[in-house]
Amino acid sequence: TADLALLPIDSDLVLGVNIAQIQTSPMWKDFIAPRVMTDEVKAKLDEFKQKCNIDPLAVVKSASVGLKDAAAGKEGVVVVHGPDKAKVMACAETMKATPTSDAKVEVTQDGDVIVLRPKSAGPDTPSVAFTFTSADTAVIVVGPKATVAGVKAVAYETIQLKDGSLP
């Protein structure tokens, strides 16, 4: 699919998941949910739902993942289909404008690129950065390349917008 063009060509792991479909399967109920949906994860999801009025498990329909083990650490790209760009960008704006005292992540924005950086990391080591390439498709860069420039490189290399902007 078009998602593969966005993933690093030298990925050690390439994975495509139809999240909407797997959540309706017995495998999700019996094997995945009990291991993934810990009390801590549920609490974080509930907090996110309350702050942003977005249920990630309901809005994310599918994802394509390309990850590799690089010298600077684990890195990769995730393409997520389903979330509404306007709602996610509004949520990022809310989180940026009203950080809580116990927030573990700093949210910054440069145009249409959102960067989420652990507060314990150095200024040049963000862990996740993303943008939208359509109204319901996000491109997420993970690891040392998770910067505004890193996200733009992934999006621009593939989409090659004539005016240099993101859709």
pLDDT tens profile 8-34? 889 999 999 999 899 899 988 888 888
What are residue 141's DSSP bridge partners? Answer: 77, 129
Place of tokens 């329909």: 61
pTM: 0.85
The tens digit of pLDDT for each residue in 77-93 reads: 999 999 999 999 998 88
CA max distance for the chain: 49
HEC per residue, 124-162: CCCCEEEEEEECCEEEEEECCCCCHHHHHHHHHHHHCCC
Residues of the chain short of pLDDT 70, as ranges, are: 1, 72, 99-102, 121-126, 157-167
